[in-house]
Amino acid sequence: MHDHLQSLNNMQKKAALHMKGPLLVIAGAGAGKTKTITHRIINLIKEGISPDNILAVTFTNKAAKEMRDRILATMQNETQGQDSVPFISTFHSLGVYIIKENASLLGLTKYFNILDESDAISIIKEAIKESNLDPKQYEPRKIKNIISREKGNFTDMLEYKNRGDYMSQIAGEIWEKYEKRKSNENSLDFDDLLIKSVKLLKENEPVRKTYQDKWQYIHIDEYQDTNEVQYLMSSLLSAEHKNICVVADPDQLIYGWRGANLRNVLNFEKDYKGAEVVMLEENYRSTQNILEAANEVIKKNKYRPDKKLFTKNKEGEKISLYEAVDEGDEADFIATKILEIIDNASAQNSNNNSQKNSLSEIAILYRANFQSRVLEEAMLRYNIPYQVLGVKFFERKEIKDTLAYLRASLSPESLSDIKRIINFPKRGIGKSTLAKIFAKDTESLPIKTKIKINNFYKLLEDIKEKIQTEKTSEVIKYAVKKSGIEAELQNGTEDDLERLANIKELVTLALKYDTLPESKGVEKLLEDASLASDQDSIMLIEEKNSIKKAVRLMTVHASKGLEFNNVFITGLEDGLFPNRRDGETKKEEDREEERRLFYVALTRARHKLYLSFANFRTIFGSKTMNAPSEFIYDIPGDLIETEGEKVKTIYL
């Protein structure tokens, strides 16, 4: 047995030593699944498998980076002389890789544009108007979600449109126009990155064989979150050699609304005959009290394997429960408790960094985004540094404007990018002129307008030339200066100066792409920006020491994969968490997903959990009286300690 395996427990070793055939690893929260996959990959390499033949796929850039860093660090110590590395990426990045290598087969150019969520919704809004429909009645985001869900289920567009019901016909018509617009602009959305790569693998045998031979050992993380398209991608790539290892925790499936299918895990042994199953149940993250609460909560779900987490960690503090009068009282309690945590940390350690470190180890979780407002106000009132996860760096207007110049220079047919920047900074090009440009009818335009248009496209050509010859950071500096963005913001308001500072931060970020060959650096930056998730904003901000240490505010969904010493779970009221919309009665599977979501929230905590609910909460302008969440009742009373006045409704 290789030395690197000595740090694993028996079940982790069993998974790491498995080499041939299918393997299902059921890994509980905090059970060391990333460590296990890392050591399994290192073991394959030490046993003579080329890193080029190994693929590892996960769901977030953060998880992919963590896995890549661990593998590279271990390879340096354990596998001397290896130049190549395994291919480690998210599903969407894998889709981009396959599409780029086969762009001509898909009728795309090399520099296809990846639409982010807001850009995709903008095109759908235009498609709704083109269909003579009212965007207020047919809300673009809802239509986008319908299309995304059907694409995730690998549904054919025309088949969906012809289902016969009114909504399918309307959404199908918009979907059709949406696809046409994207095709004209050489653009793909997130769903296309999976759909098109899977269709290629399914329908083109030489392409499929190429990747099956390339990646003979496949690892899929968070397998419980795979939808139909991701399931197909996994099975198509592994069909030849059957060396597929999937890691899953059915108790953490929280994306059913996005198409995640629990059956992908439950049917794994049917799909892959002779599969070995390994259970990782030892938790290295949380205290015994936190785990006992989590186990008691989740055992009420029926659709799950028989699994119970245990730990050798200490018993730990009891779980605090606070009954608030209203959301303001709840926020005040959380803020004062955070100050208490910070004071205690400072008292225990006089090191200057102790307060900052305690801040970054605190998370406030909520079920719905609207809950953040009153919590943010409390953080400001008590002068507590905080960061809201979900405010993406790459979604800031000034960043999108800058990147649009780069994208448009590489792909001038990207009308969305042209529309965004052709009159920013102002060039005197109005909507009617823009319509003529898009209709390729510029002959009737005044000569001065033609000169402005020609100068704009000449600017794009100049930026493209720089992309081919200069480092990524220098390209951004050039684009910002030559476009006039720098001068526009420099001479503007305080907000404009802040936007310019953000662009300078983009230049700093781009330095890490400077090591790539000229145009490859810009291509990779644009790809990473398009695929950035909520959690990536944490990765980005943690590189900036000035804002690095702050309390994190986020939805429970966004917290998956993260962990903190102290976790506040707020808004534990019936109808809010578990969530119900407009008094609807949820199906059993929906109720189970809400319970899994609470389980995920509980298991983010290492040392201390705080639960809170409010008797009154104002939602959409109406104050409502609330009953405590059923989830609170699921936690044994001996694990709970009440904060403030004794909670009158739960444990009396």
* Cβ neighbours, 10 Å, residue 407: 26
Amino acid type, 622: S
Amino acid type, 22: P
Q: Distances from the Cα of 189 to the Cαs of 109, 112, 176, 400, 557, in angstroms? A: 15, 10, 14, 16, 22
What's the CA gap between 640 and 205, in Å, rounded? Answer: 59
* Cβ neighbours, 10 Å, residue 497: 12
Output the CA angle 289-292-298, nearest 5 degrees. Answer: 140
The pLDDT score that the predictor gives to residue 546 is: 41
CA-nearest of 487, 412, 485, 493 to 454 is: 412
* 320 SS3 class: strand
The pLDDT score that the predictor gives to residue 415 is: 86
What's the CA gap between 221 and 203, in Å, rounded? Answer: 26
Q: Distances from the Cα of 48 to the Cαs of 42, 54, 73, 98, 628, in angstroms? A: 10, 12, 18, 26, 57
Torsion of CA 283, 280, 268, 588, to 10 degrees: -30
The pLDDT score that the predictor gives to residue 544 is: 47
645 backbone dihedrals φ, ψ, rounded to 5°: -65, 150
Q: Distances from the Cα of 61 to the Cαs of 203, 251, 390, 469, 561, in angstroms? A: 29, 22, 15, 28, 11
CB 46 within 8 A of CB 78: yes
Estimate to the nearest angstrom the gap between the alpha carbon of 295 and the chain centroid. Answer: 26
Q: How far apart are the first and last CA of the chain?
A: 55
The pTM of this model reads 0.85
For the chain, give the number of residues. 652
Q: What kind and span of H or E run contains 245? A: strand 244-248
Residue ranges of the chain with per-residue pLDDT less than 50: 354, 541, 543-547, 582-583, 585, 651-652
Among all chains, which residue has been given the structure tokens 């396959």?
Answer: 98
Q: CB neighbours of 146 closer than 8 A, spacing ≥ 6?
A: 167, 171
Residues tagged active-site = 33-34, 221-222, 252, 604
CA-nearest of 616, 652, 617, 651 to 634 is: 651
* 118 SS3 class: helix
Q: Is the peptide bond before 425 cis (omega within 30 degrees of 0)?
A: yes
CB 234 within 8 A of CB 241: no
CB 108 within 8 A of CB 99: yes
Supply the angle between the helices 494-510 and 472-483 in degrees, to the nearest 10: 150
